[in-house]
């Protein structure tokens, strides 16, 4: 993986959720978890998960614009991105595939995000939504396993930082007037 791709993926998590951590890392994988409370109802937060163009950071896309991202929140649904053509035919990328979907409660996807696609790994990305007070607590876990050149433990903090940034974006989008 090139240093520029690694640095782009690392980013700067200016508004990361209060609780984010690598919860485990070893030779063959890692796990991260982040959680945040959002002042919105569970159905609204779940619906927003299906609109990554509203909350995913442009810097962590292949096209440079999160508006090119889609997520179909049903089993078999694609978390995909269109890569506009500079000339000729547009490209596309499948970031992950939905394997479990319960509206207002949980969304689980399987796939290798970002530079992990070039490695011999796969991951399970889970969004669990729990009612808390006047809103929800959303807990995002990403468990990655397989062979990762350079070692999984080295990549884990970078992935954790990038995903925590996306969860902060979800909170901002959910709590901002549209």
Residues 158 and 7: beta-carbon distance below 8 Å: no
Domain 3-11+19-175, CATH: 3.30.530.20
Residues 41 and 136: beta-carbon distance below 8 Å: yes
Q: Provide the residue-wise pLDDT of the chain in tens; the chain has 178 residues.
A: 444 444 344 443 334 445 889 999 999 999 999 999 999 999 999 999 999 999 999 999 999 999 999 999 999 999 999 999 988 899 999 999 999 999 999 999 999 999 999 999 999 999 999 999 999 999 999 999 999 999 999 999 999 999 999 999 999 999 997 6
Query: Distance between CA atoms of 104 and 47, rounded to whole angstroms?
Result: 8
Query: Distance between CA atoms of 23 and 111, rounded to whole angstroms?
Result: 19
| Domain residue ranges of the chain, discontinuous segments joined by + | 3-11+19-175
pTM of the model: 0.88
> What are the Cα distances from residue 116, in Å, to 88, 89, 152?
27, 25, 10
Query: Distance between CA atoms of 87 and 73, rounded to whole angstroms?
Result: 31
């Amino acid at each position: 993986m090139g240093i520029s791709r690694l640095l782009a993926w690392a980013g700067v998590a200016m508004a990361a959720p209060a609780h984010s951590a690598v919860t485990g890392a070893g030779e063959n994988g890692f796990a991260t978890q982040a959680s945040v409370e959002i002042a919105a109802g569970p159905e609204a937060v779940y619906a927003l998960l299906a609109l990554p163009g509203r909350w995913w950071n442009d810097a962590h896309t292949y096209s440079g614009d999160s508006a090119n991202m889609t997520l179909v929140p049903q089993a078999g649904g694609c978390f995909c991105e269109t890569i506009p053509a500079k000339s000729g035919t547009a490209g596309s990328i499948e970031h992950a595939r939905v394997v479990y979907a319960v509206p207002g409660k949980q969304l689980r996807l399987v796939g290798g995000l970002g530079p992990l696609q070039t490695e011999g790994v796969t991951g399970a990305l889970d969004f669990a939504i729990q009612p808390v007070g006047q809103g929800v607590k959303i807990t995002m876990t990403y468990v990655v396993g397989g062979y990762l050149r350079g070692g999984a433990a080295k990549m884990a903090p970078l992935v954790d930082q990038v995903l925590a940034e996306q969860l902060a974006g979800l909170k901002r989008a959910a709590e901002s007037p549209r």
